[in-house]
Structure 1
Amino acid sequence: MKKVLIVCGNGLGSSFIVEMNVKKILAEINKEAEVAHTDLTSAKSETADLILSAKDIAEHLSSHSAKVVGLSNLLDNNKIKEIRGDRRTHRFTYPGWRRHQ
């Protein structure tokens, strides 16, 4: 099962809200994933397939092995819905995605 990690500065408010939204979106499209939220410092040692965060936080996760998507607005569920997981390759795609390096 894929793991999606939602990251914000303190791992409290916004990441928790986004976690709930991602779980709701996954249920709507009949997809399963382990979804959790955390703070930036802890995220660096966590394992995940996909990390969602604000763009400014994503810059600090450039060395992470997960695909990192930095969003302009964490509460924009339409942007979150654009992220797709490929069951065959176990990779995520996101329109216009570019890995932070």
Structure 2
Amino acid sequence: MLKVIAACGNGMGSSQIIKMKIAKIFKKLEIEVSIHHTSIGEAKSQASGYDVVFCSEALKSNFKRAEDGGTIVIGLKNLLSEQEIEQKIVEHIVNKK
């Protein structure tokens, strides 16, 4: 099971939306996941304990340390685009297995 964290500025609205969207796509792709959503500050300190981090493209640089440690960090340009989310999951997770 993949441990996934969805992060946004305050850990409220956007991260909850990302969580719902990525859960839908992982289910479609039949990948078992555990998803947590939180603020960028909390996610930054916890990211190395997760397999994958989802955030907006603008916040991706906050996770350089986790990425260097092997965590997959996926930046999204459009947080509402299931097509973009699916494409990035396939590119960064499915095709890397």
Q: Which runs of 5+ in 1 are unaligned?
A: 86-90, 95-101
What's the TM-score, normalizing by structure 1? 0.78
Residue-pair matches, total: 89
Identity %: 33
Provide runs of 4+ in structure 1 moved above 2 Å: 91-94
1:51 aligned counterpart, secondary structure: strand
Q: For residue 90 of structure 2, what is the aligned residue in structure 1?
A: 84
Q: Which has more helix, going by share of residues?
A: 2
User: Using a 3 Å threshold, how does the CA distance of structure 1 residues 93 and 29 change in structure 2: closer, same or farther?
Assistant: closer
In 2, Cα distance between equivalents of 1:36 and 1:84: 20
Considering only aligned residues, what root-mean-square deviation do their CA atoms show, in Å?
Answer: 1.9
**Is the aligned partner of 1:60 residue 2:62?**
yes
